[in-house]
Amino acid sequence: MSDKQQIITIDGPAGVGKSTVSRMVAAATGFTYLDTGAMYRGVGLFLQEQGVDLTDSSAIKRLLATLDLQLLPAFDKNCDVGVLVNTRDVSDAIRTPEMAMVASNVSALPVVRDYLTTIQRNYGEKGGIVAEGRDMGTVVFPDAAYKFFLDAKAEERARRRFSQLKAKGVDADLNEILAMTRTRDKNDSERQIAPLMQAADAVRIDTTEISVDEVVSLILKKIKKER
């Protein structure tokens, strides 16, 4: 497997548990966790605050040239990766259902994808990362040594997100979250640029009825076997 990058990709739709699983896999393997979803959320928030027309690629490109986007390591497996936008901590601001939709919208823009794909590949140059997102195994790191695709029923993913928000004291509506989940699934799967799809050589894991620990165990066993 010398021609493969020592990278673990974990793709899948929103709310499937990619972030938690990726953090745990990174901790178990000693790899660095790369939360690409947080990157898209950070860019989405930045562009939204700038009030830019999302059909104006030239304007977006000019704005992105002024953006300093940084990821902050998670303190433990229960914490999200932090995000700085031009030194401002937006870690909490990007973790809302509304910003998830914004991220989905901007991720369909070629100028944004080019910008972030370059950053993501720079992170992966030396290997040793767990890259989580929508197109890690298909577009960003097609030569990754280990690829996984997590999936779950939309109802279960919405329920998980609802529980997360309630635990944080955020007022949320389950039906609204389910509707957003289905809309995002449709947008992510049907977009022309890097649509959400399982890589041909990825291992699919349905997480609907199994725990996070069980998902991580399956992934680690597969990696150990391949090694």
**pLDDT per residue over 58-67, tens digit each?**
999 999 999 9
> Has residue 146 been placed in a domain?
yes
Q: Supply the mean pLDDT for the chain.
A: 92
User: Comparing C-alpha atoms, which of 7, 47, 9 is closest to residue 198?
Assistant: 9
Length of the chain, in residues: 227
Per-residue pLDDT band for 77 (boundaries 50, 70, 90) equals low
DSSP state of 193: S
With beta carbons less than 8 A apart as the criterion, state whether 209 and 154 touch.
no
In this structure, the strands spanning 5-11 and 129-133 are parallel
pLDDT of residue 76: 62
DSSP state of 139: I
With beta carbons less than 8 A apart as the criterion, state whether 219 and 149 touch.
no
Residue 88, beta-bridge partner list: 85
Considering Cα of 119, then 121, then 123, then 125, what sign does the dihedral take?
Answer: negative
> Has residue 18 been placed in a domain?
yes
Mean pLDDT to the nearest integer, 169-188: 91
* pTM score: 0.85
| Lowest mean pLDDT across 73-77, 85-89, 105-109 | 73-77
With beta carbons less than 8 A apart as the criterion, state whether 14 and 105 touch.
no
With beta carbons less than 8 A apart as the criterion, state whether 137 and 9 touch.
yes
Per-residue pLDDT band for 1 (boundaries 50, 70, 90) equals very low
User: In which domain, by residue range, is 164 found?
Assistant: 5-221
> Has residue 227 been placed in a domain?
no
> Has residue 195 been placed in a domain?
yes
Number of domains in the chain: 1
Is pLDDT of 210 > 50?
Answer: yes
pLDDT of residue 165: 87
pLDDT tens-digit profile of 78-95? 667 889 999 999 999 998
In which region does residue 140 sit, left (phi positive, over 0), alpha (psi from -120 to 50) or beta (all else)?
alpha
> Has residue 127 been placed in a domain?
yes
Residue 126's identity, in one-letter code, is K
pLDDT of residue 72: 85
Per-residue pLDDT band for 15 (boundaries 50, 70, 90) equals confident
Mean pLDDT to the nearest integer, 205-218: 96
| Lowest mean pLDDT across 25-29, 105-109, 189-193, 196-200 | 189-193
Instruction: Compute the distance between CA of residue 30 and CA of residue 90 in angstroms, rounded to an integer.
Output: 27
Angle between helices 174-190 and 154-167 (to 10 degrees): 130
DSSP state of 31: P
> Has residue 226 been placed in a domain?
no
Listed in order, strand segments (DSSP E) in the chain are: 5-11, 32-35, 69-72, 82-85, 88-89, 129-133, 144-151, 203-206
* HSE-CB for 51 with a 13 A CA cutoff: 0
160: CATH: 3.40.50.300
